[in-house]
Amino acid sequence: MPPAPLRPIRILHLEDSVLDHDLVARTLVKAGLSCDMRRVERLDEFLSSLQTDRFDVILADYRLPGFTALDAWQALREHPQRPPFILLSGAIGESAAVEAIKLGISDYLLKDDMGKLPHVIHRALEVQEAHLAKERADAELAASEQRLAHFADHLQMTIEQERAAIAREIHDDIGGSLAAIKFDLSWLGRHYGTPDALAHIESALGMLQHALGASQRIMLNLRPAILDQGLEAAVDWLAREFESRTGIRTLFRANLKTIDLSKPVQLAAYRTAQEALTNISKHAQCSEVRIELSDAEDVLTLEIADNGRGIQPTEREKPKAFGLKGLQERARSVGGWLDVSSRSGEGTAITLTIPLSNPPAGHSQDGTS
């Protein structure tokens, strides 16, 4: 038997027989349990005691004047921190005992087996402590997950702000400088028309045009200004740019009725398509990609599917496989979710689903106001 606790066990005894109450007290003292017991026999006394004091265990006879222990248990269920409830009674019948246990009563003991009561009380207290410890652990886990979700949301917002800042620097500094160089090279070509000079100038202009195109592509990836034209136009641009860059046949189909999608929702969908296409180009080994975008029944759905090699389970569980995890967090930040369906050799489908009827309150995640 476990050692007795440092403080007395506080017991509320629902019992109309003083003799039976005294018998319980003597049994516990004989077993070496330090107890502080209070006897009540009416339901209103029982409820009043629970309101004014805190008890470790409740012992209850089954039949009491005008009510039963089950009535007391039902009233106790509304109590925020209900202690273990042990039914201590005479023969009440097997069916009644089973029903009591089904209702959640901690234990049942016949008065004829009073000698087992100390053990039953210890066991009920141990189960109660384990239950409370689990509740505390669950609460801590839920709080930790909530903090992680807030951190992921903040991190996504910070990343988008940094992307927007870098895009502005590329546009203002690098883009402006490249445009000025192009202007100067054109001026040189018009005023110094020797064949060798023209050849070098044409070559430089070609490389410069390539650099300008690369800077524009980088800016679009960093801060998708094309979203100003709407989500459908932005995803369509992604699909066409992906097909042009990779040579993989890309089919895009959209059926959007909602025009005024919020910026966070648009950005979540755009980044999901962008990340999915990036992963496809790196890993899928496919010949075709299908993208579908719709808002049927007030739910935004984006699906990106390929006919490639599929994602192996071990690849999805890698500790550093942050791509899909990041997309899942981004979807959660706008009240949506992400599903990934993949079979080896049969391709992968990534589906983003975002209810539009009650979007969560939030802020723009593209770093703009």
Whole-structure pTM value: 0.51
What pLDDT sits at residue 247? 95
83 near 58, Cβ under 8 Å?
A: yes
DSSP state letter for 166:
H
List residues bridging with 355 in a β-sheet: 299
The CA distance from 137 to 146, in Å, is 14
Low-confidence ranges of the chain (pLDDT < 50): 1-5, 361-369
What pLDDT sits at residue 317? 61
| Beta-carbon contacts of residue 280 (< 8 Å; ≥ 6 apart) | 242, 248, 286, 289, 304, 306, 308, 348
Residue 101 main-chain phi, psi, to 5 deg: -65, -40
Residue 156: HSE in the Cβ half-sphere, 13 Å Cα cutoff: 28
The CA distance from 195 to 304, in Å, is 51
Cα-Cα-Cα-Cα torsion 262, 266, 269, 274, nearest 10 degrees, comes to: -160
Which is it for the CA torsion 54, 59, 62, 64, positive or negative?
negative
What pLDDT sits at residue 316? 61
Cβ atoms within 10 A of the Cβ of 312, count? 12
Residue 286's nearest CA partner among 317, 237, 246 is 246
Model confidence over 110-132: pLDDT tens digits?
Answer: 888 888 999 999 998 998 888 88
What pLDDT sits at residue 177? 78
Model confidence over 33-88: pLDDT tens digits?
Answer: 889 999 999 999 998 998 889 899 999 998 888 898 888 888 887 776 788 999 88
DSSP state letter for 174:
I
Domains of the chain plus CATH, in order, are 9-137 (3.40.50.2300), 227-369 (3.30.565.10)
What pLDDT sits at residue 98? 76
24 near 114, Cβ under 8 Å?
A: yes
For residue 32, the Cα-to-chain-centroid distance in whole angstroms is 49
